[in-house]
Structure formats: C-alpha cells, structure tokens
Amino acid sequence: MDTRFTRMFGVEHPVMQGGMMWVGTADLAAAVSNAGGLGCITALTQPSPDALRAEIDRCRTLTDKPFAVNLTILPSVTPPPYADYRRAIIESGVTIVETAGHKPQEHVDDFKAHGVRVIHKCTSVRHALSAERMGVDAISIDGFECAGHPGEDDVPGLVLIPAAADKVKIPMLASGGFGDGRGLVAALALGADGINMGTRFCATKEAPIHDAIKQLLVDNDERATNLIFRRFKNTGRVAKTPVSDKVVEISARPDAEFADIQPLVSGAKGRVALESGDLEAGLIWAGQVQGIIHDVPSCAELIGRIVRDADAILARLAGTDRAARAA
C-alpha cells in the first residue's frame, strides 16, 4: 500500500510499531521492520544513553530496513537525562524518531536541526495541531481505546481520527484499537495514512515478554482493561489484572492520594510482570484491542495478514461499488 506515510519513511507497509516501555527492543523493532513495517526501539527501556547506543547498533545487525527510536518525555521529580538520550539517538545516525509526552519542543528542534524526521504521538486534535506548528513531520493520533495514556478527553478513534484529518495537513497514523486488516482499511477511510500498533505487537513471537502475558492478551476481551490515575488527571489504560483492580479500588476512596497506589504502579514492577509472567507482580499496559487478538503470530505473519486482509476488503468494496454502478 502506497501512502504518504510509506513514502515519507521508506517502508513497504503503512504499519508502525509504537514505542513501548520494556517491550520496544531491537529484537521486536527489527522483526517489524524486516516485515515491511516501521519498527521502534524505546529509548528509556535502556538504562543509559550508552546502552541505547548499543541497542541501536544491535538493531542494525538484525535489519537493514528503516526503524525508529521512541523518546517519551514525562514530567518527573527525578527525570532521566533526556538530552543525553537525544544526543545518543542523533549521534547514532537514527533518522526517524517517535516523540510523545510533555513539552517536546526542545527535542523536536534538535532532532530537526540534525535531519531527523519526527513522528509525534497526540491524544487530541488541539495537541496534534500544536505539534504540527512545532515542525514535526507526522502525527500519531491516539484514540481513547489505546493502551497507555489516552488523555483526558475520552474521544474514541472513530471520531478523533477524522476530526484530526480534517485539520492536520501532515501525514497521520491512527493509533488505539488497531490489530487487523479491517482496522487498517478503517483508518485509511477515516483519513489516516497508516496505523500505529502497540498491544497487538506485544502478542507476537518476537515480543520480549513472557508467554503467559501474551496468552493473557489472547484470552482477554475488549472489556478487560482498567482506567487508572483518573483522579490524578493522568489517565492510563491497563489490562484488567489483580494489581490494576487493586489500584482502581484504592483510588476510589474519597481520601486517596497517589502515594497510596505508588507501590503497586512502579515501572520496575511492571517490568517484572512482563518478564516473569506473574500477574501479581505489577501492571500490564494493554488496550481494548485485546478483544480482537486471537493468536501469537510472528511479526511477519501478522503484518502480512493485515495487508492481505486489507487488500481483500478494499477489492470487495471496489467490486461492490462497480456492481452498484452497473445496476
């Protein structure tokens, strides 16, 4: 499929693997890129900028296709050295970056000054337009269905994607709830230039997480998520597990403070859960797309199936249109 996204980023298929903490390693990124999509390494999964340099080098031994690096900027009492990670990305010769999070202007400016193309992830039309004015090359627009942080507006993709497409002039990926060929066709019909998938790529053979977590994503349905951090205006969507149920329960108390749930929601504990398969260990970030995940294919099998199914749907729709005109 030829879209503005495939042309701009030099990939075969309009499918991107979003940056995911603890999941976006060279192994997964290379597998997605080798299958014709755009794989993505998550910078902050690596413990230091030098470790990120090594991971980028390792990815290049696994693929000769384009891949991106995700840099998510979040407000924190003790923030990581974002500028050093940014420098590692630039000095490693990476040409595509996915940014997300809080006030990315400094990072976007530096990336652009060094010829790096930037895809910025947004959860609202107003933020997408702000990023466009900031000078990013493409937008990834996250609907309310998504894993991670869907923002506070609660607008699902069916409305958010065309609303953004009406106003955003640069290429745009649709994110949140995508996992098959039907979703790709829908995204294109709604005005996007491709899809950005996270949860669906977690349920692949190459995803560096425990098989029990992959099976959880297969077994769950579209109702099996919890929204956490709502009262703290930092909403997150995670898989429904004993840990996230407990977080919701504690957060519902009238006097609840973030400190009350902090021991349950640490990123380090989430990493333990992903690596060990222990659902009691920490949060599992996952979206409502779980309802259409039914297997654990390789990335090549998954992307190939998405594109074939999308082509078949488009052919069927074109045939229906021709038949209607003939009638």
Q: Given its phi and psi angles, is residue 277 left (phi above 0), alpha (psi -120 to 50 degrees) or beta?
A: left
Closest by CA to 94, choosing from 122, 120, 128, 71, is: 71
pLDDT in tens, 43-86: 999 999 999 999 999 999 999 999 999 999 987 778 999 999 99
Backbone angles phi, psi at 72, to 5 degrees: -100, 125
Report, as ranges of residue numbers, the positions in the chain whose pLDDT lies below 70.
Answer: 327
How many C-beta atoms surround the C-beta of residue 252 within 10 A? 10
Quote the CA–CA distance of 291 and 288 in Å, as a whole number: 6
Q: Is the CB of residue 181 less than 8 Å from the CB of residue 169?
A: no
Quote the CA–CA distance of 127 and 122 in Å, as a whole number: 6
Quote the CA–CA distance of 296 and 110 in Å, as a whole number: 38
Which secondary structure element, helix H or strand E, spans residue 251, and what is its range? Answer: helix 242-251
How many C-beta atoms surround the C-beta of residue 301 within 10 A? 14
CA end-to-end span of the chain: 30
User: How far is CA 101 from each of CA 120, 142, 279, 283, rounded to the nearest angstrom?
Assistant: 9, 12, 27, 20
Quote the CA–CA distance of 252 and 175 in Å, as a whole number: 29
* pLDDT value at residue 321: 72
* Both tokens assigned to 165: 């497409």
* pLDDT value at residue 154: 97
Check residue 289 and report its DSSP letter.
G
Backbone angles phi, psi at 309, to 5 degrees: -65, -40
Q: Given its phi and psi angles, is residue 171 left (phi above 0), alpha (psi -120 to 50 degrees) or beta?
A: beta
Q: Is the CB of residue 235 less than 8 Å from the CB of residue 150?
A: yes
Domains and CATH numbers, the chain: 4-205 (3.20.20.70), 211-288 (no CATH)
* pLDDT value at residue 120: 98
* pLDDT value at residue 322: 72
Q: Which residues contact 41 (CB under 8 A, 6 or more apart)?
A: 19, 24, 25, 26, 29, 52, 55, 56, 59, 67, 68, 69, 70
Quote the CA–CA distance of 212 and 21 in Å, as a whole number: 18
* pLDDT value at residue 263: 94
* pLDDT value at residue 65: 98
